Structure 1
């Protein structure tokens, strides 16, 4: 699992991977058209064997293909703004794509789910910043970051990678994930719908001036507003990463415990719904 960051150099090495989804097929109950029929059921059998004219079937198929083609068109195809046609896939986080923007003291922040073809270059550039690569371990060839992103996007919806757009400018990378469904849950007393956050601030000019704490508070509040079943937002920065821990504290998180994870000793940070207006 990738790290939780409050600044670009506030990450930790990833220690798990998101599983690949296997969607169950639609169950269909077969209809036995011969059951209960006798010699006097010819009318019923004639109705079951009724066929539509071939011309009508062809016309119906053509219309269905046209509608399906529009709904399955690649993101951005034929549009000036590719984000207007991004896939609206389901997730296990109450549809992060629909959360919308939130006002912060630093400006309006909008978490936009990652589209690899559009966002990989900037995310890869951030991951190759030496201060970031030392913790996230996704530097080097572009395919390292790409594989990390696709592993989440093709997963079962328990983690959603996002670009943080501040006043319309991409400046941070986020991962919103179901901590209760993550391997992290093996290392702390997880509760149903616990939601985790990871943050990486990309631009050097945005680091070291308290922006991480400001944005973390805003996103934690956004999670609690958009996920009524979630009572806690959690994070697990490296215990040695003092700036990151400090940013979470300034964002209204409390230090809960030290936890030993496969790749690091982490500070378990928790923002409680019940305390959100007090901290």
Structure 2
């Protein structure tokens, strides 16, 4: 699925050294990486086989679903304590709250099908959106797309983007390291991906995509202290989306052949946040 203005394995498993040694591959020093704690440890950048990534992903998800809440939800900047329920893989996204932007307060609000289906379906039927998301139709495809996330293990959360009190965009925040995209780039633990689209035609072409994408990337880094990279995968044909990622401080790191699209792999690094 693609970004519509627009829509990424934790490598643990060597049970010989506690949390610091709990890795399937050896950790190596990265001179360009920002210092990280044991809980947010990085691993060597390797391209693994599909079978090994599936095994690592399953083990990592099971570990995060069962580890104590006090460990899983250590407070990050602006947070006062644990947030979200058991099995929360995105650090209580529903409780992240609003952030200020030049266009007004902005907040990610998790989708509720009974409340939001009509609006999201309307956006998905816009020709400029359906060309990349491929969810046009009476709503069944959109329902299936939303339910696959809402009924899952929490690795992807579909949200409305609410700007100054008005729902005006659709977002998916997801664990890139637990997603198939991890097979196409050197994924690191807790990499967090973003898919998005701007709903109204009148809101496009005004720089809002860049503004809000930067705000959401900042929000991810603020609320997910173990995440050092935010990832995007816009369709290379989707020039406005690619430009929005670049304008929001992401760097183009390569390309990937994904189902239905050739994607530009975009990464925004925590270590470079102050200069981008």
Q: How many Å separate the matches in 1 of 2:125 and 2:186? A: 34
Equivalent residue runs for 1:24-35 within 5 Å: none
Higher gyration radius (CA):
1
**Out of 192, 195, 201, which is 2:198 matched to?**
201
Question: Match of 1:133?
Answer: 130
1:166 aligns with 2:163: yes
Number of aligned residues: 205
Task: Classify the secondary structure of the residue corresponding to 2:109.
Answer: strand
Shift of 1:128: 0.7
Structure 1, unaligned runs of 5 or more: 12-18, 24-86
**Out of 121, 125, 134, which is 1:124 matched to?**
121
| Contact 1:88-1:97 at 8 Å conserved across structures | no
Shift of 1:107: 0.8
Equivalent residue runs for 1:1-279 within 5 Å: 2-5=1-4, 7=5, 10=6, 90-279=87-276
Q: How many Å separate the matches in 1 of 2:139 and 2:237? A: 28
Q: How many Å separate the matches in 1 of 2:250 and 2:225? A: 18
Deviations 1:150-179 (A, max 9, x none): 110000000000000001100000000000
Q: How many Å separate the matches in 1 of 2:226 and 2:143? A: 32
Shift of 1:91: 2.6
Deviations 1:27-46 (A, max 9, x none): xxxxxxxxxxxxxxxxxxxx
Task: Classify the secondary structure of the residue corresponding to 1:269.
Answer: strand
Shift of 1:88: 6.4
- In structure 2, the CA distance between the partners of 1:90 and 1:172, relative to structure 1 (3 Å rule), is farther
Shift of 1:245: 1.0
Task: Classify the secondary structure of the residue corresponding to 2:241.
Answer: helix
Task: Classify the secondary structure of the residue corresponding to 1:246.
Answer: helix
| Contact 2:220-2:230 at 8 Å conserved across structures | yes
Task: Classify the secondary structure of the residue corresponding to 2:100.
Answer: strand
| Contact 2:3-2:133 at 8 Å conserved across structures | no
Q: How many Å separate the matches in 1 of 2:202 and 2:170? A: 15
Q: How many Å separate the matches in 2 of 1:260 and 1:188? A: 11
Q: How many Å separate the matches in 2 of 1:192 and 1:88? A: 21
Shift of 1:240: 2.0
RMSD: 2.1
Deviations 1:168-210 (A, max 9, x none): 1000000000000001101111000000000110011100111
Task: Classify the secondary structure of the residue corresponding to 1:266.
Answer: strand
Shift of 1:90: 4.9
TM-score by length of 2: 0.71
Task: Classify the secondary structure of the residue corresponding to 2:267.
Answer: strand
| Contact 2:2-2:261 at 8 Å conserved across structures | no
Structure 2, unaligned runs of 5 or more: 8-57, 63-83
